Amino acid sequence: MAFKSASRPNRSHAISPACVAAPVELKTGKPRREEVITGSPDNNITDYIYEKMGADLHRQADHPIGIIKQAIYDYFEARNPGLFVKFDDRFPIVSTRANFDEVLVPADHISRSPNDTYYVDASTVLRCHTSAHQAETLRAGHAAFLVTGDVYRRDSIDATHYPVFHQMEGVRVFSEADWTAAGLSPTQLAEQDLKAALEGLAKHLFGDVECRWIDAYFPFTDPSFELEIFFKGKWLEVLGCGVMEQRILDDNYKPGHKAWAFGLGLERLAMVLFDVPDIRLFWSNDDRFLKQFGAGDLTARFKPYSKFPACYKDMAFWVSPEFSENNLCELVRSIGGDLVEEVTCIDTFTNKKTGRTSNCYRIVYRSMERSLTDEEINALQERVRKEVAEVLKVELR
Ligand code: PHE
């Protein structure tokens, strides 16, 4: 995940924090196409991505993503009745200021790269995390809140990565009376309550699972942690969290407070809880998938109804200096849509004499809903080859 990284972008034109947009008003609903695909030279959003907007899987009570959201709501409601205010309809188009600057993401942080983030224009993005709403919600005076929404990231393609997914952000602010009553330092109280709340959440969702805390790095928290749970024989990362950077609180709330924050991925939790093997299934309209889940039911386990055969195609090309795997995946998605299951580099070598590097990528095509014909896959692959050569300026071999 991009935010864990303290590294720098691999592109030179990081967005300067000085270039700050007027705050986007509190809008809701599905954005219009012109609001997303703007014609700005910085725009890197395809129709494939636009078509995913407004689906609001997290607002459907009997969809696995909506079921998980509600289960987390219920848990926090039982733990701290009436405390957390909930938002789940914040507009997904936000300023770079909200998405990055206000949560202290450094000007040269890798997550700002147009290789990783969808830009509407130079100062506006599709939020790449729900942390984009921390500062504005604190400014509105809320001391405890949960913000759920769809988030967008350019990434590789496999069974657990999809360019749109859902996160829930949690924030809780403490005041002096709280840490005095607890007999703890402000940071101790925040850290202790955070860990207790999230371990309790893991047990609420997964039963009596083993949990462990891993030290982590995020620009917006210090100290920072990741929670892992032991599930089906392996340790699995389920969320990032930490004690909120004091500056965020001081700049947007009131001085003299302390807070914790967490961000969790709903798909990750739903895949584990409901045994969903491929993240694309959440976007399927197939009743054979949707009918297996019901509002409030955490006991459902996905029963695969079929696995249609996969078909793979390899393509090798000499890469150009600007080549990036995320750009390749974006292009393949824009042609093959949800038929693309995985894109992996299966071979790479550098010619000693010319210094040129060749990559061979395998594209796996499979439908979740039907059998694909050879003609249809060949036609898709032909288009992929043509556009890879034209758009990515690489030389096919
Ligand atoms: N925004 C982080 C991410 O998307 C998660 C996070 C939220 C971590 C809040 C710490 C605190 O990876």
Residue 170 alpha carbon, nearest atom of ligand 1: 9
Q: Which residue matches tokens 């060949």?
A: 378
CA-closest residue to ligand 1 atom 7 = 263
In a domain, 9, yes or no: no
Please check whether residues 276 and 343 belong to one and the same domain. no
The predicted pLDDT at position 336 comes to 96
Q: Is residue 306 part of a domain?
A: no
Count the Cβ atoms, other than its own, within 10 Å of residue 342.
18
Tell how far the Cα of 387 is from the centroid of ligand 1, in angstroms: 35
Residue of 138, 166, 218 with the most ligand 1 atoms within 8 Å of its CB, for mutation: 218
Query: How many angstroms is it from 361 CA to the middle of ligand 1?
Result: 31
What CA–CA distances, in Å, run from 337 to 32, 52, 180, 283? Answer: 21, 11, 55, 12
Domain final residue, candidates 255, 290, 325: 290
**Which among 256, 290, 324 is the end of a domain?**
290
Res 18: pLDDT = 43
**265 CA → ligand 1 middle, Å:** 9
**What SS3 class is residue 354?**
coil
Cα–Cα distance between 393 and 331 in angstroms, integer?
Answer: 12
Structural domain includes residue 3: no
Q: Are residues 315 and 216 in the same domain?
A: no
Q: How far, in Å, is the centroid of ligand 1 from the Cα of 240?
A: 5
Q: Which ligand 1 atom is nearest residue 239's CA?
A: 5
Q: Which atom of ligand 1 is nearest to the CA of 240?
A: 8
pLDDT at 14: 39
Check residue 149 and give its pLDDT. Answer: 98
How far is Cα 257 from Cα 259, in angstroms, rounded to an integer?
7
Residue 300 in any domain: the answer is no
What is the pLDDT at residue 271? 93
Same domain, 242 and 372: no
Quote the ligand 1 centre to 192 CA distance (angstroms). Answer: 18
Name which of 96, 87, 78 is nearest 18 in CA terms: 96
In a domain, 297, yes or no: no
Strands (E) across 232-299 are located at: 234-244, 258-265
Specify if 342 maps to a domain. yes
- Tell whether 276 and 320 lie within a shared domain: no
Residue with the smallest CA separation from ligand 1 atom 6 is: 263
- Left, alpha or beta for 271 (phi > 0: left; psi -120 to 50: alpha)? alpha
pLDDT of residue 7: 63
pTM: 0.91
C-alpha pair distances (Å), 196 with each of 200, 230, 257: 6, 17, 20
Select from 239, 260, 290 the last residue of a domain: 290
- Kindly report the protein residue whose alpha carbon is nearest to atom 2 of ligand 1: 263
| DSSP at 52 | H
Nearest CA-CA partner of 110 in 15, 16, 7, 13: 7
Q: In this structure, are 338 and 284 located in the same domain? A: no
Beta bridge partners of 351: none
Whether residue 320 sits in one domain with residue 181:
no
Tell me the pLDDT of the chain (397 aa) as tens digits.
578 877 655 444 434 444 444 554 578 889 999 999 999 999 999 999 999 999 999 999 999 999 999 999 999 999 999 999 999 999 999 999 999 999 999 999 999 999 999 999 999 999 999 999 999 999 999 999 999 999 999 999 999 999 999 999 999 999 999 999 999 999 999 999 999 999 999 999 999 889 999 999 999 999 999 999 887 788 889 999 999 999 999 999 998 999 999 999 999 999 999 999 999 999 999 999 999 999 999 999 999 987 899 999 999 999 998 899 999 999 999 999 999 999 999 999 999 999 999 999 999 999 998 999 999 999 999 999 999 999 999 999 9
Tokens representing residue 21 in the block: 């947009």
366 plus 270 within the same structural domain: no
Tell me the pairing of strands 234-244 and 258-265: antiparallel
What is the CA(4)–ligand 1 centre distance, in A? 8
Q: In sequence order, which ranges of 142-185 are alpha helices (DSSP H)? A: 176-182
Note the Cα 180 to chain centre separation in Å: 37
Ligand 1 pocket, CB under 6 A: 1, 3, 129, 131, 218, 220-221, 240-242, 261-263
- Ligand 1 centroid – CA 224 distance (Å): 9
CA of 333 to the centre of ligand 1 (A): 26
Give the total number of structural domains in the chain: 2
Atom of ligand 1 nearest to the CA of 134: 9
What's the chain's Rg over C-alpha atoms?
Answer: 22
Ligand 1 atom with minimal separation from the 265 CA = 4
230 shares its domain with 330: no
pLDDT at residue 290, rounded to an integer: 97
CATH number for position 223: 3.30.930.10
Residue 254 CB coordination number (10 Å): 12
Q: Does one domain contain both 286 and 237? A: yes
Q: How many other β-carbons are positioned within 10 Å of the β-carbon of residue 234?
A: 8
Q: How far apart are CA 173 and CA 4, in angstroms?
A: 23
- Measured distance CA(324)–CA(191) in Å, rounded: 39
Which atom of ligand 1 lies closest to the CA of 131? Answer: 1
Q: Which atom of ligand 1 is nearest to the CA of 151?
A: 4
Cis peptide preceding 163, ω within 30 of 0: no
Question: Is the Cβ–Cβ distance between 308 and 367 less than 8 Å?
Answer: yes
**Could you give the CA distance from residue 25 to residue 22 in angstroms, rounded to a whole number?**
9
Kindly give the distance from the C-alpha atom of residue 150 to the centroid of ligand 1, in angstroms, as a whole number.
14
Q: Which residue owns the Cα nearest ligand 1 atom 4?
A: 129
d(CA 37, ligand 1 centre) in Å: 27
10 belongs to a structural domain = no
Q: Please list, in sequence order, all residues whose beta carbon lies within 8 angstroms of the beta carbon of residue 190, skipping any fewer than 6 positions away.
A: 174, 243, 244, 258, 259, 260
Q: H or E segment at 172? A: strand 164-174
Q: Is residue 11 situated within a structural domain?
A: no
SS3 string, 282-325, reads HHCCCHHHHCCCCCCCCCCCCCCCCCCCCEEEEEEEECCCCCCH
pLDDT at res. 36: 97
58, 95: one domain: yes
Name the residue at shortest CA distance from atom 9 of ligand 1. 262
Parent domain of 324: 311-396
State the Cα angle at 284 between 267 and 270, rounded to 5°.
Answer: 20
Distance 238 CA to ligand 1 centre (A): 11
Which residue's CA is the closest to the ligand 1 atom numbered 5? 263
Hey, what long-range contacts does 350-353 have (CB within 8 A, 24 or more apart)? none
